[in-house]
Chain A
């Protein structure tokens, strides 16, 4: 089953880089004007907080094991402003490395081995805000699949003595601001800077009985090609 999931995610991810051929009158997906890709390298820190607490800035709790992560996300535009709605739709692939370190007494439970994570999902961006004439802003939310090479220390901590799973649901939330509008440098027209939340969970036990997950706060710049 694991191999099937990895194969499925890999195959779907490869579609990001493909061009659609044989356009018909309704075959509009992937046929977008202008930039087609978003590249987003990021760095992040692990947190014990729930996703709701992070979104509302209510309760920010650090990971007791000081987990860090770094990764890259590649997105392919599928639709840009369809029917003039202020939204963009992309497909997203990401590769993330979690840097695990542990020096406590439960060395047989926690790990010092890095975790590699791959994700694939669909992302929707909201691109209209009242302050756009000052700084163009976009809020993105993605939903997809996630697979990790082993369980991160953060998930081991959050689900101590409970079920864990390599395969979980993936949500990525990003809020980014146009770099040209901030710096007045014309070369940064297609570049945004921002922060986000990288979330994995079992959707309250729906996936492999995992009731919980992990949240990481990320900081990034993203550029379009």
Chain B
């Protein structure tokens, strides 16, 4: 505990003297209060209570909940290595570990969480509920829902358009062999 306090004190004291747009360490306490000025973090950010910033390249270690406009790197946190709530507004590239991952823009990489809510997603999503408003490449979960998907593996898979294959107990796809199929479904025109 003493080491942790000492570490944070050191990091904070380093950032107090920094006045540039970019900072190497930021402690995001609330949506409007960041210790470590700068709208871009290249290094480590520790969001606590919906800490918010423009851009992060590096590592987000989330104590409670975070919000960021653009993110590149690794998002994790205090809950078994995952953040409780990670919100990325426009662009995400990297690996995201969170109980809830909520992405409003385009995302690329790997997402592991209880609930993954994304827009356009390129890569792998692993979760209890995977939900995509646009396109998803690979979804592994209990319930997978995507407007357009390439591969879904889960108990219940739902896609308005499947471009590859669905494997699961119930598979819903409007352009599938049938609109509902047990065990698997795929695009007939593959």
Contacts and interface: CB of A to CB of B under 8 A. Distances in A.
Nearest to B117: A85
Interface residues of B, number: 29
A26 interface: yes
A21 interface: yes
B32 A85 contact: no
Contacts of B59: none
A15 to B, nearest CB: 6
B84 A143 contact: yes
Contact of B31 (A30, A85, A89, A143): A30
A82 interface: yes
Nearest to A204: B80
Contacts of B32: 20-22, 24, 27
A165 to B, nearest CB: 17
B119 interface: yes
A85 B87 contact: no
Contacts of A29: 31, 50, 52, 67
A86 B84 CA distance: 19
A124 interface: yes
Contacts of B84: 122, 143
Interface of A: 1, 12, 15, 20-22, 24, 26-30, 78-79, 82-85, 87, 89, 122, 124, 141, 143, 203, 206
26 contacts: A12-B49, A20-B30, A24-B32, A26-B67, A26-B69, A27-B31, A27-B32, A28-B67, A29-B31, A29-B50, A29-B52, A30-B50, A79-B87, A82-B87, A83-B102, A83-B104, A83-B119, A84-B133, A85-B117, A87-B117, A89-B100, A124-B115, A141-B114, A143-B79, A143-B84, A206-B80
